[in-house]
Amino acid sequence: MSLTPQESAYLEKKIGRKPNPVELQIVAAEWSEHCSYKSSKKHLKTLPREGRRVISGPGYDSGVLDVGNGYVVTVHIESHNHPSAVEPYGGAATGVGGVIRDILSAGTRPIAILDGLRFGDVEKDTHARWLFKNAVRGIADYGNCLGIPTIGGEIEFDRCFTNYALVDVASIGFGKKERLIQNRADKGDYVVLIGGSTGRDGIGGSQFASDKLESENRSAVQIPDPFIEKLVIEAILEARNQKCIKAMKDLGGGGLSCAISETSDALSVGIDLDVALVHKREQNMSPTELMVSESQERMLVITSPEKLHALKEICEKLRVSYSVVGRVTEGNMMQIKYDKDTVAKLPSDVVANAPLLDRPASVPKYLEKISSIRKPKAPNLSQTLLRMLSNPNIASKHWVYTQYDHEVGIRTVIKPGQDASVLRLDNGKFLSVKIDGNSKHCYVNPRQGVIGCFDEACRNIVCTGATPIGMVDHLQFGNPEDSEIFWTFKESVEGITEYAKYFEIPCVGGKVSLYNETDDGPIKPTPLIGVLGIIEDKPLIPKKAKKGDLLVMVGLTKDELGGSEYYEYIHDIVGGTCPAVDMESSRSNQEAVLEMIGQDMTKAVHDCSKGGLGVAISELCITHETGCLVSFDKIPSGRLAEDELLFSESHSRFLLIVAPSKIKAAKALLEKRRVKHGIIGKFSGKNIVFKNKTKVVASVMVDKAQEKWLNSLGSLVSHG
């Protein structure tokens, strides 16, 4: 792959001559969709990026948030979709490695990993199962070895991911504000490449990721080595402590081409680089191969002549390989040499800033087709509820997260499997994090779908007692050259912007991944939202429900089954009305729940989302090992059919467990705040029973529900 005719012409005009073949490859790597965001950049500008906690600086690869007392939290999200679709183990593992280095490059220690995984129909498709198992193993082997806990995430299965995989990894970092890398460089500073040796793996990876997945180009997949990454982390943090790092950048997509051009451009300096000096693991690598190889576990560090010796000593103590590959110069030229020969000489601002595109967008035709559907006849709802609980999209993911070390670092206060995970910070505060996506909702309504994902992630962290302070997004779509796909992308960005502005949650980072397609077509629009929240005092650690405790529901249930698990998994219906967020009531609901948590009025809070009320209440009963009697007529809602009440996925709803002694105060608070609520059930017995006046709508035994929910996914994957 190379440049388009327009891009070639633009390049020639900018540099005033024809580029040589090495230069062309350098530019092609950096101007790939993956590195340049050329289709998306114009639209991403609408996202609000300012906030009182946001610290921005030149060239940061991650978002930085001030959490007080001189400490910062950093966050970044990336995907490794194409590589994981052909080589799930290595693809997923290197996906973890890459995002970790983005956190490291700010000068913070990575303290947590979250991952969002998507595969085809894991029940019927053994290839999807193979991809799933190996991606999980890749993440586990890499993250566990690094000693960075994988504390949460989410998993979705959908036929649109057949023969494909979405592997998203988010990472969180923590450190002292005063130790953040300042990212500046002066003439005469040294450019040092630290970490893994450079080989021929991952050649052209960024271009591979910027095209439809047609061939299984395994050589474009990078090879993971977590042990080297661990040593690199410790070496870099020690170098940071000894103030040996003036600027730093991770080597990811586009390899050295990208790292050199972006660093040179961001710091407004020139760089002279001799690629012959790069430490390699293969012989006779050409300058082009050295410039575009995406070999892993490499960091580019700029250090002053005074600190070079100390930096070398740190690397030698930890036995981390390094090579001093260049010097900082005045101006803005990146000059690449191979020994004495200059093989490329380009202005870095040209290389680092691809000409942006104005892609046409048009409303997809499919939307009209699926907007109205014939409502299905409700089946036996007790049996349906059990089927829903064993649905791989809903069933417990403990088979996955027990393979991840989620305790190392001794910060994990609320563990995976809950609404959001919570980490303790060194300043006595707590950080709550969650990522959420929902391709089914986003397909039915791209704008409302993504707003819903955002709302869900916020609700999840609210359940732990946290207030949102920042968000990251990861926008994953098919080929942007298709105007209908591009429209869904634009809708997503606008939806995120709308929610972020309303709730004043700054976007502190993100990533765009396009061309997520196979021969069978594009994936459904799959934006992913990660939200971080802060808890000043103490998190809500769930207390067990006792017999007689009450189930309180906050929020309105509406006829919104479009894109729901009930429609798609039970009835195979795609379409209808997707849940839409009412911003005003969402805000009041979140605030009311936070006040209830603050006033110690509730034992546990659970978000109500995938699978609706039926699933959320069952999950509570399973976790708290108790039955519950739920009265339909108490559920705040319009006139809805029984299956709609049970399975509608309306947003902004919470379930709270309240002790009888606290119910009066809780009710008064909810009434005062004028939020829709109801005392909808009472915990007792061994059955989960839903009653409409005197009629039993659905009833399942807690034991039976637990067995389905807990074991379905594990037994599915361990038997093939």
Partner 1 sequence: MRVAVIVFPGSNCDRDMHHVLTDVFKLQSQLVWHTDDLPRNVDAIVLPGGFSYGDRLRAGVIAAHSPIIAQVKKMAEKGMPILGVCNGFQILTESGLLPGALLKNTSLSYICKWTEIIVKNNKTPFTNRFKLNQRIPIAIANGEGRYYADKKTLHTLRKNNQIVFTYGEDINGATMKIASICNKEGNVVGMMPHPERSAEQILNPKDAKPASMIFESLLKTLGVTV
Does position 13 interact with partner 1 (CB under 8 A)? The reply is no
Q: How many CA atoms lie within 13 A of 245 on its CB side?
A: 27
Does position 160 interact with partner 1 (CB under 8 A)? The reply is no
Judged by CB, which is closer to partner 1: 398, or 673? 398
Q: Select the residue interacting with partner 1 from 408, 659, 701, 710 (CB under 8 A).
A: 408
Q: Select the residue interacting with partner 1 from 11, 22, 104, 140 (CB under 8 A).
A: 140
Give CA–CA dist 216/9, Å, rounded.
Answer: 31
Does position 378 interact with partner 1 (CB under 8 A)? The reply is no
β-partners of residue 433 are 421, 532
Does position 172 interact with partner 1 (CB under 8 A)? The reply is no
Say which of 76, 80, 406, 441 is annotated catalytic.
80
Q: Select the residue interacting with partner 1 from 88, 153, 196, 226 (CB under 8 A).
A: 226
Judged by CB, which is closer to partner 1: 48, or 147? 147
Does position 403 interact with partner 1 (CB under 8 A)? The reply is yes
Sheet with 298-303, edge to edge strand ranges: 247-250, 298-303, 190-195, 322-329, 270-274, 333-338, 341-347
544 φψ region: left (φ > 0), alpha (ψ -120 to 50), beta (else): beta
- Binding region for partner 1 (CB under 8 A) out of 97-105, 202-210, 381-389, 396-404: 396-404
- Binding region for partner 1 (CB under 8 A) out of 48-56, 112-120, 181-189, 312-320: 312-320
Does position 366 interact with partner 1 (CB under 8 A)? The reply is no
Does position 115 interact with partner 1 (CB under 8 A)? The reply is no
Torsion angle (degrees, nearest 10) of CA 342, 344, 350, 353: -130
Give CA–CA dist 713/340, Å, rounded.
Answer: 59
Give CA–CA dist 589/663, Å, rounded.
Answer: 17
Residues in the chain: 720
Q: Min. distance of Cβ 541 from partner 1 in angstroms?
A: 8
Does position 409 interact with partner 1 (CB under 8 A)? The reply is yes
Reduced to 3 states (helix: H, G, I; strand: E, B; else coil), residue 672 is: helix
- Binding region for partner 1 (CB under 8 A) out of 351-359, 411-419, 438-446, 675-683: 411-419
Q: Select the residue interacting with partner 1 from 318, 659, 689, 716 (CB under 8 A).
A: 318
Judged by CB, which is closer to partner 1: 227, or 366? 227
Does position 685 interact with partner 1 (CB under 8 A)? The reply is no
284 φψ region: left (φ > 0), alpha (ψ -120 to 50), beta (else): left
Does position 158 interact with partner 1 (CB under 8 A)? The reply is no
The footprint of partner 1 on this chain (CB under 8 A) covers a number of residues equal to 29
Q: Is the CA virtual torsion 363, 586, 78, 104 positive or negative?
A: positive
Does position 319 interact with partner 1 (CB under 8 A)? The reply is yes
Does position 310 interact with partner 1 (CB under 8 A)? The reply is no
Q: Tokens 């939020």, residue?
A: 675
Give CA–CA dist 524/532, Å, rounded.
Answer: 26
Give CA–CA dist 260/279, Å, rounded.
Answer: 16
The two tokens of residue 691 are 């009653």
Does position 410 interact with partner 1 (CB under 8 A)? The reply is yes
Does position 236 interact with partner 1 (CB under 8 A)? The reply is no
Does position 317 interact with partner 1 (CB under 8 A)? The reply is yes
Give CA–CA dist 405/415, Å, rounded.
Answer: 11
Judged by CB, which is closer to partner 1: 55, or 145? 145
Give CA–CA dist 372/635, Å, rounded.
Answer: 26
- Binding region for partner 1 (CB under 8 A) out of 144-152, 272-280, 359-367, 670-678: 144-152
Q: Tokens 């430490």, residue?
A: 279
Asked about 82 being catalytic, the answer comes back as no
- Binding region for partner 1 (CB under 8 A) out of 111-119, 143-151, 494-502, 637-645: 143-151
Q: Select the residue interacting with partner 1 from 24, 44, 145, 276 (CB under 8 A).
A: 145
Asked about 80 being catalytic, the answer comes back as yes
Give CA–CA dist 714/395, Å, rounded.
Answer: 9
Give CA–CA dist 647/557, Å, rounded.
Answer: 10
Does position 111 interact with partner 1 (CB under 8 A)? The reply is no
Give CA–CA dist 180/348, Å, rounded.
Answer: 25
Binding region for partner 1 (CB under 8 A): 140-141, 144-147, 225-228, 230-231, 317-319, 401-410, 412-413, 415, 424
* Active site positions, annotated: 34, 80
